[in-house]
Amino acid sequence: MTSSASTTLAVARSSPATVFGYTPVQAIALAVMVALVAFTPSVLYPVFLMKVLCFAMFACAFNLLIGYVGLLSFGHAAFFGMGSYVTAWTAKNWGLSAELAILLGGVTGAGIGVVFGWLAIRRLGIYFAMITLALAQMVYFVCLEAPFTGGEDGIQQVPRAKLLGFISMQSDMAMYWLVAGLFLFFFLLIHRIVHSPFGQVLKAVRENEPRATSLGYRTNDYKLIAFIISSFIAGIAGGTKALVFGIATLTDVHFSMSGEVVLMVLLGGLGTVFGPVVGALVVTAMENYLAQFGAWVTVTQGAIFVVCVLAFRRGIIGEIGARLKLAL
Partner 1 sequence: MFTIFGIPGPLLFGQLLLGLINGAFYAMLSLGLAVIFGLLNIINFAHGALFMMGAFVAWMLLNYAGIGYWWALLLAPLIVGAFGLVLERTLISRLYKLDHLYGLLLTFGLALVIEGLFRNEYGSSGMPYQIPSALQGATNLGFMFLPNYRGWVVVAALVVCLATWLLIEKTKLGAMLRAATENAPLVQAFGVNVPRMVTLTYAGGVALAALAGVLAAPIYSVNPNMGSSFINTVFAVVVIGGMGSIIGSVLTGFGLGVIEGLTKVFYPEASATVVFVVMAIVLLTRPAGLFGKAA
> In DSSP terms, which residues pair with 248 in a beta bridge?
155
CB of 71 to partner 1, least distance (A): 10
Positions 50 through 79 that interact with partner 1 (CB under 8 A): 72
Q: How many Å apart are CA 264 and CA 60, to the nearest integer? A: 10
- Is residue 313 a contact residue for partner 1 (CB under 8 A)? yes
The residue within the footprint of partner 1, chosen from 48, 177, 305, 312 (CB under 8 A), is 305
CB of 159 to partner 1, least distance (A): 31
Q: Which lies closer to partner 1 via its Cβ, residue 49 or residue 72?
A: 72
Using only C-alpha atoms, the chain has a radius of gyration, in whole angstroms, of: 19
- Is residue 134 a contact residue for partner 1 (CB under 8 A)? yes
> In DSSP terms, which residues pair with 167 in a beta bridge?
163
- Is residue 126 a contact residue for partner 1 (CB under 8 A)? yes
- Is residue 96 a contact residue for partner 1 (CB under 8 A)? no
Positions 279 through 298 that interact with partner 1 (CB under 8 A): 294-298
- Is residue 322 a contact residue for partner 1 (CB under 8 A)? no
Q: How many Å apart are CA 61 and CA 233, to the nearest integer? A: 6
Q: Interacting stretch for partner 1, rule CB under 8 A, among 13-21, 93-101, 120-128, 281-289?
A: 120-128
Q: How many Å apart are CA 243 and CA 63, to the nearest integer? A: 24
Q: Which lies closer to partner 1 via its Cβ, residue 34 or residue 146?
A: 146
Q: What DSSP state is assigned to residue 19?
A: B
CA atoms within 13 A on the CB side of 1: 15
Residue 93 burial (10 A CB sphere; 0-12, 13-18, 19+) = exposed
H-assigned helices in the chain: 3-10, 24-39, 46-68, 76-89, 98-120, 125-145, 172-194, 197-207, 209-214, 219-245, 255-268, 275-290, 296-311, 315-324
Question: For residue 43, what are the CA distances in angstroms to 49, 178, 279?
Answer: 10, 18, 20
Q: How many Å apart are CA 120 and CA 123, to the nearest integer? A: 6
- Is residue 164 a contact residue for partner 1 (CB under 8 A)? no
- Is residue 131 a contact residue for partner 1 (CB under 8 A)? yes
The residue within the footprint of partner 1, chosen from 304, 316, 317, 328 (CB under 8 A), is 304
Q: 3-class SS at 91?
A: helix
- CB 81, CB 253: distance < 8 Å: yes
CB of 223 to partner 1, least distance (A): 14
Positions 260 through 279 that interact with partner 1 (CB under 8 A): 262, 266
Q: Interacting stretch for partner 1, rule CB under 8 A, among 35-43, 84-92, 127-135, 244-252?
A: 127-135
The residue within the footprint of partner 1, chosen from 125, 151, 165, 181 (CB under 8 A), is 125
Q: Which lies closer to partner 1 via its Cβ, residue 26 or residue 137?
A: 137
The residue within the footprint of partner 1, chosen from 1, 142, 173, 326 (CB under 8 A), is 142
Binding site for partner 1 (CB under 8 A): 72, 119-120, 122-127, 129-131, 133-135, 137-138, 141-142, 144-145, 255, 259, 262, 266, 294-306, 308-310, 313
